[in-house]
Amino acid sequence: MKEDVSVRVCGVQRCPGAEEDVSELVCEGVFKHTADGWLLAYEEPSEAGTVKTLLRFADSRVTLTRRGAVRSEMTFAAGECHTIFYELPLGRLTMELHTDSVCASFDGACGTLELCYRLTVRDETVSENRLAVTLAPR
């Protein structure tokens, strides 16, 4: 069963030699329980246009898929490293995503998902990140 939810996305990014960058998005989304976890879909604005985001959680693993003005697919699993592609209007970036932790706590369509991870290029850290997604019924 699908449920309409309020979505709050908070991101913190630390890049070497730069100040911490904090972003926040509040929007509406759709949450759905699946046989092995859950799905969350929402849209977010970007400078290049709208981006549709799908978060899929199953077996302590999160897949974040973005389509639209930005295209990417990121897989988060604690202790694992995955090669990711990030397609922007100006070109395609290839990076490694190192997941430090995946924490999820949900009761129905209410709860929080927190992802802590690092992005590297050629074994050099380009950013340390924390993404928190909080859901509440609408």
Residue 134 one-letter amino acid: T
> In angstroms, rounded to a whole number, what is the distance separating the alpha carbons of residues 118 and 91?
21
Average pLDDT value for residue range 124-134: 97
- Looking at residue 59, its pLDDT comes to 87
Half-sphere exposure of 1 (CA within 13 A, CB side): 3
Average pLDDT value for residue range 32-39: 93
3 state DSSP class of 50: strand
Return the domain boundaries, the chain.
Answer: 2-137
Residue 69 has pLDDT above 90, yes or no: no
Residue 46 has pLDDT above 90, yes or no: no
| The domain defined by 2-137 carries CATH number 2.40.128.20 | yes
Kindly report the pTM of this predicted structure: 0.92
**CB of 9 closer than 8 Å to CB of 25:** yes
